A and B are shown apart, each in its own frame.
Chain A
Amino acid sequence: MMEINMIKKYLLKYGTAMLLFLLPLIVSKSIMTVVCSIAGYFIIAGALNSINGYSGQMCFGIAGFYCVGAYTMAILMNTFHISFWIALLPSGIMAAFAGMLVALPTLKLRGMFMAMLTIGFSEVMRMICLNWTSVTGGTMGIKGIKAPLFFGIKTSGASRYYYIYLVTALLFIFCTNRVIHSRIGRAWMAIREDDMAARSLGVSINLYKILNFMYGAFWAGIAGALLAPYKTYIDSSYFTLDEGFNILSMVIIGGQGTLAGPMVGVVIYQLLVEGLRFTGVWRYIGCAVLIIAMMWLRPQGMVGDSDSVLAGNKTVRTGSNLLSNLHWKTPGPIRKLIISVLY
C-alpha cells in the first residue's frame, strides 16, 4: 500500500513538474500569455495573502508595492543599464523598504483605518510615479524595457518569459512554505488569531507585523519587477486602486491563509475574465456575480484556511445547508499554535 501511494505521489509530483516545464511546447502562444498573467498574478496575490491571510492585517493597497517594484526595475534597467538579474533583488528590497514605511504607522491602526491608510499609500505611490516626470517618465511611462538575456538566450515573448515567471513562482512557494512553518510564520498566525493572547504570551507583535509587511511587499515588488520587462512598457495605469481590488478579490475568492488559496483564486479569476471576453461589456457583470456568489457559497474562499478567524467562525447564520459543513473555531489549535511559537 505504502509503495503505491509513494509511486502515485512521485508520479503526481514529477508529472506536474514535467507538464509545467513543457507547457509552452504544448499550448499556443496566446494561451501562454494567459498562463504568464496567471503566474504573475499568482506571485502578487500570494504576496498579498502573506499579509492579509497569515497575519490577518488589512492591506488594500498592494498595488503600491507592485508599482514600486516595477518602477525600480524599469529605472535600474533603462536609466542605469543594470542587468535584469542584478536589478531583481534591489527591486524587491526597495518594495520591502516601502512596506516597512507603511507598516510603521499602521501598527496602531486596526481594520478599516489600516485599509484606508494602505489605499492612501498606494494612490500616493502612483501619483508620485505619474508626476515625477524626470525620473519615472510621468504619464509617458517608461518604454523599451528589454527582456533579459539568459546565457545569451533572449527571453522576450510569453513562451520564453514564462520560465522566468515559473521559476520565480516556484521560488515564492518554496520560500513562503518555509517561512510560514518557521517561528516567524507561526507568530504571524498567532497575531491573526488573537493578538492579545499572542502579546500576553510574549510574541513581539510590532516586530512581526513589520516583518510581515516587508515580506509581502518584497514579493509584490518582485512581481512588479517581473512585469516591467515582460510588458516592455509600464506606466502608472497598471497600478490603480482597481487593480489592487482585483488582486484582493482573487485572494479572497481563492481563500486566505493557505498557499494554494491565491493560486486557485487567480486561476478562477483569470480564466473567467478570459473566458467571458467574447461577451464584451457583459464580462464584468459575470465577474461581479461570481465574486458575490463565491462569498455566498464559500466565504472562506475555495481552499481558504477554514480553521482561522478569517473564515468567519460564525459565518453560518440562518438555515443554509451549503454552509453547515463549515469548520468551527476551536480554541485548541490556536493555543497550540501560540505555544509552538514560544517553544
Chain B
Amino acid sequence: MKSKTGKKLLSLLAITGLSVTLLGACASDVPPAANIDTKSATEDAAETTGTESSKVIKFGVIAPLTGAHAEYGQGFDAATQIAAEEINAAGGVNGYTIELECQDSAADAKTSSDIFTRYGEDDSIMAVIGDFTSSCCKANAPLADEYGLVQISPTASDPSYASMNDYCYTVMYNQSTAAPWTAESVVGHYLGKTACAVMYLNTDWGITTNDYLLQGIDKAGIKLLGDESYSENETDFSSVIEKLKATGADCLVILDQGNVPTIINQVRAADWDCQIVSLGPGASDQILELCGENANGLVIPCPSYITEDNPTTSDFYKKFFEKNKCAPTDHALCAYTCVQVLAKALESIDGEITREKIKDALKDVQYDGMAGHTQFNEDGGVNRDLLIIQVVDGTYVIQKEYGYK
C-alpha cells in the first residue's frame, strides 16, 4: 500500500515536472515567434500603407475586467485601446506602433502582482498601465522596482503610492491636495456649510482620503458630526445613513466610487434631505442613470467633465461609447491619458527604447489633453486642478472652473 501510493506520487511529480517544463519550453518558444509574427504583420501593414514603421512597442495593461470594479476596468481596456488606435492611425511614435496587452486582475492584489510579474518577465513589455485600485498598485510597486518596469496607474490616488519608488507613476489627482480642498473650498466656501457628516469606504483608498478630508475639515473650522466607514461589499447602507442622519447634519460627504448611486438612493429613501458631496466617482453618467431625480443637487469635485456635447471630449465620448456601450468616466479618460503620456515619453527618447529610458523620460513629459495639463511631480504623481460640478435638473453643470479656492 505504502509503495503503491509512493509510486503514484512519484509518477505524478514526474508528470507535473514534465508538464511544467513542457509549458516552459512552449512559453519560451512562443514569444519570439509571436514577435516575429506581429512584426511581419505590421511590416505587411507598413508596406501597404507605405510608411516605414515596422517596430512595435508593447505596453501591458492591468485592469479589473471582472469583480466589483469591472465597470471601470472595462473602461480602462476600451480607453487605452482608443488611445493606441489614435496614435497608430497618426503614424505611431518615432516609427513605432503601439500595441497593448490587457489582462484581468479582478482588483485582487494577488492576481495583479502575478500579472505584473508576467509582464516583468516578458522582455517585449516596455511599461505597464494599471491597476485600478491603490492597493493593487501598492502591491505591485516592489515588483516595478525589481524588474525596472514603469507602472503608471490611471487612478491610484493614494498619496503614499506614487512616492514608493521611481517606477511608480499615477495620472490621478492626489488626495493629499484634493481631499482638503474639497473640505475647505467645496463644503466650506462653495456650499457655505459649517457642519458635515462623512461616510467612507473602508479600503486603503477610503481611509487615506478620509484622513486628508478630516484634516481639511479641521483646518476650515467645519464641525464634524459623524465619520462612518463601511466594508467594500456593502449593499445596504440604511443603518449607517440612519446613524449619520441622527446627528442632525445637513451635509453629507461620501468617499467612494461605485457605491455612490446606491448610497444617494438610500439617503433619499430614508427621507434625509441633506446636501450630498461626493469625492471619487467623477461626473459619471451612472449616477444620473441610477438615481434619477434623487441626484439633483449632488456636488462632485471632478478633474474633468466628459460629455457628448463638449467639443473637446465628444470624439472620445463617441469612440468610447461605441466600444464599451456606456459613457466614459474620468477614470477611463485617465487610462487614455496614460497611453498618451507614454507616447509623449517615447517621442523624447532617441535611440533604442528601454524600460529605463521610459522611466527617465516620463519625468519630463508635459501633456495637454482632455484631462487638463499633465506633468509629474517629484513623487511621480500629478497636481491636477478640479472642477466643481453639480447636478441640476438631471444633468451635470459646471459651477466653478479650475482654480476655485
A and B touch in the complex (CB under 8 A): yes
Among B22-30, B266-274, B387-395, the one that faces the other chain is: B22-30
CB proximity of B170 to chain A, nearest CB, Å:
17
**Complex A-B: 8 CB contacts under 8 Å:** A20-B13, A23-B17, A30-B122, A33-B118, A173-B9, A177-B6, A238-B110, A259-B5
Instruction: Tell whether A45 is near chain B: CB-to-CB under 8 Å.
Output: no
Q: For chain A, what secondary structure do more than half of its interface residues adopt (helix, strand, loop), or is it mixed?
A: helix
Q: In residues 209-256 of chain A, which contact B (Cβ within 8 Å)?
A: 231-233, 235, 237-238
Given A12-B10, A259-B9, A27 and B24 touching (CB < 8 A)? yes
Interface size class of B (residues with CB under 8 A): 35 or more
- Min CB gap B308→A, angstroms: 27
Distance (Å) between the CB of B24 and the closest chain A CB? 3
Nearest B residue to A177 via CB reads: B5
User: Judging by beta carbons under 8 Å apart, are B110 and A28 in contact?
Assistant: no
B71 on interface, CB distance cutoff 8 Å: no
Question: In the complex, which residues 24-46 of chain A have their Cβ closer than 8 Å to any Cβ of chain B?
Answer: 26-31, 33-35, 37-38
Contact of A31 among B11, B14, B27 (CB under 8 A): B27
Contact with A along B12-50 (1 / 0, CB 8 A): 111011111101110110000000000000000000000
Q: Add 9 more A-B contacts to A26-B21, A232-B142 (CB < 8 A).
A: A27-B27, A35-B20, A173-B9, A181-B2, A231-B113, A237-B135, A264-B12, A281-B65, A281-B104
Number of A residues, CB within 8 Å of B? 52
- If over half of B's interface residues share one DSSP class (helix, strand or loop), that class is named, otherwise mixed; here it is helix
A130 at interface by CB-CB < 8 Å? yes
Is residue A9 contacting chain B, with contact meaning CB distance below 8 A?
Answer: yes
Within 8 A of B (CB), among A255-288: 258-260, 263-264, 267, 271, 277, 280-281, 283-284
Out of A16, A235, A280, name the residue touching B135 (CB < 8 Å).
A235
A140 within 8 A of B: yes
Report yes or no: A30 in contact with B121, Cβ–Cβ below 8 A.
yes
Which residues of B have CB within 8 Å of A238? 109-110
Task: Tell me the minimal C-beta distance from B257 to chain A in angstroms.
Answer: 15
**For A295, what are the chain B residues with a Cβ–Cβ distance below 8 Å?**
none
8 A Cβ contacts from A128-145 to B: 130-131, 138-141, 143-144
B119-166 residues at the A interface, CB under 8 angstroms: 120-122, 135, 138-139, 142, 146
Q: A19-B21, A281-B65 are in contact. Are A139 and B202 (CB under 8 A)?
A: yes
Q: Is A13 an interface residue (CB 8 A)?
A: yes
Chain B residues near A267: list those with CB within 8 A: 16, 19
Q: Which 5 A-B pairs have the closest CB atoms?
A: A27-B24, A30-B121, A19-B17, A31-B24, A16-B14
Contact, CB under 8 Å: B27 / A139: no
**Chain A 130-168, CB within 8 Å of chain B: the 1/0 string?**
110000001111011000000000001110000000000
Report which of A130, A141, A158, A271 forms a contact with B19, defined as CB distance below 8 A. Answer: A271
How many angstroms from the CA of A277 to the CA of B203 in the assembled complex? 27
Q: Give the A-binding residues of B (Cβ under 8 A).
A: 1-2, 5-14, 16-21, 23-25, 27-28, 65-66, 102-104, 108-110, 113-114, 117-118, 120-122, 135, 138-139, 142, 146, 202-204, 206-207, 231
Q: Give the complex CA separation of A271 and B122 in angstroms.
A: 19
- Which residues of A sit under 8 angstroms from B118, Cβ to Cβ? 30, 33
Please state if A233 and B10 are interface contacts (CB–CB under 8 Å). Answer: no
Instruction: Provide the residues of chain B in CB contact with A35, threshold 8 Å.
Output: 20
Chain B residues lying within 8 Å of A23, measured Cβ to Cβ, are 17, 20-21
Task: Determine the distance from Cα of A144 to Cα of B113 in the docked complex, in whole angstroms.
Answer: 14
Q: How far is B18's CA from A225's CA once the two chains are assembled, in angstroms? A: 28
A30's contact among B8, B66, B117, by CB below 8 Å, is which? B117
Report the bound CA distance from A158 to B20 in whole Å.
15
